[in-house]
Structure 1
Amino acid sequence: MKIYRLFALMLLACVCVPSQAGQTLVINSSYYPPFTTPEQNGFIDLLYKELGKRTGLTFKIQSLPAERALSNANSGIDDGDVCRIAGLDKTYPNLVRVPEAVLDYKMKVFSRSVDFTVKGADSLKPYDVGILTGWKIIERTVVGTRSLSSVETVDQLIKMLQNQKVDIIVLEEMQGRAMMEKMGYTNLKILEPSLLEGDWYPYLNKQHADLIPSITAAIRSMKQDGTYQKLYADTITQFRLHHHH
């Protein structure tokens, strides 16, 4: 009987932790606080730590500019990207999307002096606009403006607005707020409503396509048992409470 029970336990262990256990994946992030932080306590940092526990994988989050983050994941230099818009696999054929969203985004128009109601991309056309290189949905949406400047980092983008090199910038709201606060700029404003809203999904290089079902299941189980909501509350909701003026 004992031997049988031991065998049953061993079998169970095999079911819970598939052969991927111990595998380390380098996953790129082009994000900033409160999503990923140098201390690795941002929402995405904590989400991937928990995903690691649930899948037996080790996720190493690597900070890279948005364009390089994607091309490195696509070429197989790195293993994936923490979260991006749906549909990138059309442009980057070696990337496979995890079908469960990990974060929702709001792309906002930040301004120093101009003021208008944001009515889609057309309402940006009269202005000199700044965006981030490699943020695909913004690159595709913001076209035909008076001028368009593209920079690599959020702090460069906000500085460009502060120094009046552009009239407005388009940026994800939370990271924009965090960086404005860090830089001590209190005179910039966020125009409403959002230019774009949507969901971000993890992507893996197709050589890891076999891991997608277990990662998808782990994200879903985190949402079902409340872990996801708790992480969100501890990081993003906390941030919102402290930084909305």
Structure 2
Amino acid sequence: MRSVPHTTPRFGAMTGFVLSVAAVAALCLAFALSCPARSPYRIGYNPGALVSVEAKNRLAAVYERAGLPVEFVPMPEKRSLYLAAEGALDGDAGRVAGLESRFPAMVRVNVKLMDFCGAAYVLAGRDDVGGYREGMLKGMKVGSLYGIVWADKIMKGRFLEQVTSYDALFSMLLEGRIDIVLCSRSGAEKAIAAHPGRYGGIRQLEPLVYREPFYHYLHRNNADIVPRLEKALRELHAEEHWRELDGN
């Protein structure tokens, strides 16, 4: 009689392999659970500046889309920038381009959050003033808010009456103490809408005085998340997530 060679069933080997894979998966899961979640990225913003608040609001959606935790820290504008540049904060909510030339530790998320727009305002009865044009400010008394850098640049060293609120600014215009106002369009529109009876006689000149894209900046230690944030921003813009006017 011919002998039949004995073979070991493969079931036991396969069972061992499956158990090994399951054990490795369990170890990986246990390791992941044992590691603490990444603490939120701390981003500074200025609660007193509408453009900074809008940047913060948009970034909340951007970080959520990117799957990144974030915490927004209210503070004065300059303090936010300096702390971010030192690495004490992870980033600053929004700035115009070029910040990295003065603060090399800062990295730009190179997809704009929005456009930052500045405009000129006069009394509606000023028939002698048509649209805004370069050079028209030379013979006028000009007012603005403290901290508006682009207004200082436009004035080129000439006197600029500066105050701390839109109410004070528009009151000076109504009282004839200044001839024209330079300020953020979004801030002016909000102030006028809040007091239509009082400020209804104020009109914006066209074209805009200033328009620049506004970007999110991070400390270079967080450069690894820039691609994720840029991808999230592109997606949200493509979806028209934010209602865009002609800038902000």
**TM above 0.5:** yes
Q: CA deviation at 1:68?
A: 4.1
Contact 2:41/2:71, CA 8 A, preserved across alignment: yes
**Aligned pairs for 1:158-169 within 5 A:** 158-169=170-181
**Aligned pairs for 1:89-108 within 5 A:** 89-108=100-119
Is the counterpart of residue 151 in structure 1 residue 163 in structure 2?
A: yes
Contact 2:50/2:186, CA 8 A, preserved across alignment: no
Q: CA deviation at 1:130?
A: 2.0
Q: Deviations over 1:89-108 (max 9, x none)?
A: 22333332211101013211
Is the counterpart of residue 213 in structure 1 residue 224 in structure 2?
A: no
Number of residue-to-residue matches in the alignment:
214
Counterpart of 1:243 in structure 2 is none
Taking the aligned partners of 2:87 and 2:176, their CA distance within structure 1 comes to 39
Counterpart of 1:80 in structure 2 is 91
Contact 1:21/1:55, CA 8 A, preserved across alignment: no
Taking structure 1 as the reference length, the TM-score comes to 0.71
Name the amino acid aligned to 1:129.
V
Unaligned stretches of 5+ residues in structure 2: 1-17
Is the counterpart of residue 53 in structure 1 residue 103 in structure 2?
A: no
Where 2:139 maps in the other structure, the secondary structure is coil
2:155 to 139, 142, 149: 142
Contact 2:43/2:91, CA 8 A, preserved across alignment: yes
Unaligned stretches of 5+ residues in structure 1: 37-42, 241-245
2:146 to 133, 149, 154: 133
Counterpart of 1:174 in structure 2 is 186
Is the counterpart of residue 32 in structure 1 residue 43 in structure 2?
A: no
Taking the aligned partners of 2:85 and 2:177, their CA distance within structure 1 comes to 34
Q: CA deviation at 1:199?
A: 0.9
- Of the two, which has the highest radius of gyration? 2
Q: Deviations over 1:120-176 (max 9, x none)?
A: 3x222222222233333333233244x212334444433443443322121221221
Distance 1:64 1:149, change over 3 A: farther
Where 1:47 maps in the other structure, the secondary structure is helix
Where 1:193 maps in the other structure, the secondary structure is coil
Taking the aligned partners of 1:98 and 1:153, their CA distance within structure 2 comes to 31
Taking the aligned partners of 2:88 and 2:176, their CA distance within structure 1 comes to 38
RMSD (CA atoms)? 3.3
Contact 1:28/1:81, CA 8 A, preserved across alignment: yes
Percent identity for Structure 1 against Structure 2? 22
Counterpart of 2:206 in structure 1 is 192
Taking the aligned partners of 1:200 and 1:136, their CA distance within structure 2 comes to 14
Q: CA deviation at 1:220?
A: 1.6
Taking the aligned partners of 1:156 and 1:59, their CA distance within structure 2 comes to 35
